[in-house]
Amino acid sequence: MMWYKNAVFYEVNVRAFADSDGNGHGDLPGLTQKLDYLQYLGVDCLWLMPIFQSPLRDDGYDISDYFSIQPAFGNVDDFKVLVAEAHRRGMKILTDLVMNHTSDQHPWFRSARSSRNSPYRDYYVWSDTPDKYPDARIIFVDTETSNWSWDEQAGQYYWHRFYASQPDLNYENPAVRQAMLDALKFWLDLGIDGFRADAVPYLFEREGTICENLPETHAYLKQVRAFMDENYPGTILLAEANQWPEDVRPYFGDGDEFHMGFHFPVMPRIFISLRSQSKEDLVWIMNRTPQIPENCQWCTFLRNHDELTLEMVIPDKREWMWQEYAPDPRMRLNLGIRRRLAPLLDNDPARIRLAFALLFSLPGSPIIYYGDEIGMGDNIDLFDRNGVRTPMQWNAGPNAGFSTAAPEDLYAPVIADPQYAPAKVNVESQLADPDSLLNTLRNLLAIHKGRPELAWGTFAWLETGDLAVFACQRDWMGQTLVAVCNLADTERAVKVEMPSAGEWSDLLSGRAWLTDGLELPIHLSGSQYLWLVKSWGYAAETIPGEPQVGI
Ligand code: GLC
């Protein structure tokens, strides 16, 4: 039942993935056709970004009908086929669940703003002044100046935590709470395996608070969970709560709220560690990460469809991150960086591989953002976060094999920068190359899945005597794995404190090392990573005495 504790997740932007009917937009049948590819990569569960009816002012996070699919993406029958085909391959599907707000084009809001007597007026949060809840921060700081917007037609201000085109629902209203359960039920009845629940900290508002993480919000989310457990056992809820670890912890409740939560604060610290070539910040955040109930799991990631958020980073470090990773102001957005993984890491294959290996060495089930498995680039000339949502690059042909539409009819242009263009970066050529990023990742994922101690196990730091060398011990049901990552791009000679003496082999290269004490002297090449396990019965080449460079 706890499949999510050792699963590989993959975030798909349906619009960007594969266009089956040549209208320039990716669609559900297109995604269905690519399931074999995702299975090859080793994906266990897909998270689909919103696919519901929407004016697409926030790429579908502005829903105008919770019960139908955006026509350009297909219809409910296509969705049923996708679910069936994914399940046939042993893969699961989560959809996005946008609970906090709707589009201003949703019939509820249209009716609500039209009259104070509308039965839907109370579905939203209104005020005669823009002064209430002054302690709530603004999230989209680059575009919004207030969480209140005046609505001429309504004659009142309405509350919104994101774009003004996304009015917040009023969770004080029992009808709203029920309406969201109805939406959930509709999709669960179609056989999906759960939801990535969007923006959950903001459901309720209370004067005198920051209007985040309120007890009322947790109480409602627990009801949602109870509803799912009772009617759809085995389905899961994944929380998008961009908060400090101690504030995310309550979203797991006593194992009765969310099954999973993204680990937001660890993400920027992976990038900090890579650039500063020091594990200090990672140590700090891991030590600040609380235990979670047995039936819960973190979801860890490097990048997603949004800007690389620096909200959970202190202002000095945020400045430093911007300088290091977003030297061009156009790379910055709100409190973050709107770039993809490969460009962030200077398209350096060794650094990109290390970033993934480091991610997979930490507790949690990892999620991969579509396109990052082949090292896709970004386009900072596109508005908002669209630059990291460009068409998937399947081959070196027209439109990168994404669509047969005329290039000007694509929902967004294919990456043109020669370093990242389809001629250079595409699935087809990487499938054919055993040493490609795609195949390296596939191999890492296969090993990761076979060693549940990596996802599930306990986590303890191991001494290396060098801040540039990360080492940790992961234990699960009597199995131990030691992960060692050289964060530096230069060679390092260190002594890793091992849990026990004996012969240790690297699962990635097959090399083995003998240690008679608890210290393993080891030479690491720049950006090298090892996953060491005890060699019992392992047919590896044993190198006694002076340690060798692994790979
Ligand atoms: C979440 C989504 C983001 C969206 C916002 C408002 O943070 O990840 O893409 O803009 O919610 O729905």
> Over the stretch 60-78, which tens digit does the pLDDT of each residue have?
999 999 999 999 999 999 9
Closest-lying ligand 1 atom to the alpha carbon of residue 306 = 9
pLDDT number for residue 540? 42
pTM metric for this prediction: 0.96
Confidence of residue 318 (pLDDT cuts 50, 70, 90): very high
For residues 120-131, give the mean pLDDT.
98
Mean pLDDT calculated for residue range 344-364: 98
195 Cβ inside 6 Å of ligand 1: no
Q: Ligand 1: which residue has its CA nearest to atom 12? A: 61
Cβ of 62 less than 6 Å from ligand 1: no
In the predicted structure, residue 538 carries a pLDDT above the cut 60 = no
Dihedral pair phi/psi, residue 138, rounded to 5°: -95, 135
Q: From the CA of 61, give the closest atom in ligand 1.
A: 12
| Å from CA of 328 to ligand 1 middle | 24
Give the Å distance between the CA of 521 and the centre of ligand 1. 46
CA separation for the pair 208, 188 (Å, rounded): 37
491 assigned to active site: no
Catalytic residue among 58, 104, 193, 240: 240
> Which are the contacts of 319, defined by CB distance < 8 A and separation ≥ 6?
none
Mean pLDDT, rounded, for 94-110: 98
Q: What is the pLDDT of residue 548?
A: 37
Share of the chain above pLDDT 90, in %: 96
Q: Does residue 34 contact residue 91 with C-beta atoms inside 8 Å?
A: no
**What pLDDT sits at residue 537?**
45
Cα 205 to ligand 1 centroid, rounded to whole Å: 18
The average pLDDT across 87-102 equals 98
Q: For position 544, what pLDDT does the model report?
A: 41
Residue 282 Cα, ligand 1 centroid: separation in angstroms?
26
Query: Up-side HSE of residue 95: CA atoms within 13 Å toward CB?
Result: 27
Over the stretch 191-210, which tens digit does the pLDDT of each residue have? 999 999 999 999 999 999 99
Closest to 59 (Cα-Cα) out of 42, 46, 72, 78: 72
The ligand 1 atom nearest the CA atom of 62: 12
62, 198, 257, 373: the catalytic one is 198
Burial of 413 (0-12, 13-18, 19+ CB in 10 A): middle
- Interval 486-494 mean pLDDT: 98
Q: Is 306 in the pocket of ligand 1 (CB under 6 A)?
A: yes
Instruction: Report, as an integer, the average pLDDT of 442-458.
Output: 96
* Closest CA to ligand 1's atom 4: 61
Residue 354 clears pLDDT 60, i.e. is over it:
yes
| C-alpha span between 320 and 429 (Å, rounded) | 36
Element (H, E) at 113: helix 107-114
Is 487 near ligand 1, meaning CB less than 6 Å away? no
Q: Tell me: the pLDDT tens digits for 328-345?
A: 999 999 999 999 999 999
At 535 the pLDDT is 82
Taking only Cα atoms into account, the Rg of the chain, rounded to an integer number of angstroms, comes to 24
58 lines ligand 1 (CB under 6 A): yes
Query: Are residues 48 and 83 in contact, defined by beta-carbon separation less than 8 angstroms?
Result: no
Average of per-residue pLDDT across 434-451: 97
> What is the rounded distance in angstroms from the CA atom of residue 272 to the CA atom of residue 277?
8
pLDDT at 257 over 80: yes
Q: What mean pLDDT, rounded, does the chain reach? A: 96
Q: Is the pLDDT of residue 361 over 60?
A: yes
294 C-alpha to ligand 1 centroid (Å): 29
Q: Which pLDDT band, with edges at 50, 70 and 90, does 536 fall under?
A: low
Find the 34 Cα to ligand 1 centroid distance in Å: 25
pLDDT at residue number 545: 36
Predicted confidence band at 516 (pLDDT cuts at 50, 70, 90)?
A: confident
Mutation choice for ligand 1 from 160, 306, 383, 384, CB with most ligand atoms inside 8 A? 306
DSSP state of 207: T
pLDDT-derived band at 1, boundaries 50, 70, 90: confident
Q: Which atom of ligand 1 is nearest to the CA of 304?
A: 8
Instruction: Say if CB 389 and CB 3 are below 8 A apart.
Output: no
| Predicted local confidence at residue 551, as pLDDT | 28
Using an 8 Å Cβ cutoff, are 479 and 485 in contact? Answer: no
Q: Do β-strands 479-486 and 469-476 pair in parallel, antiparallel, or remain unpaired?
A: antiparallel
Q: Is 240 a catalytic residue?
A: yes
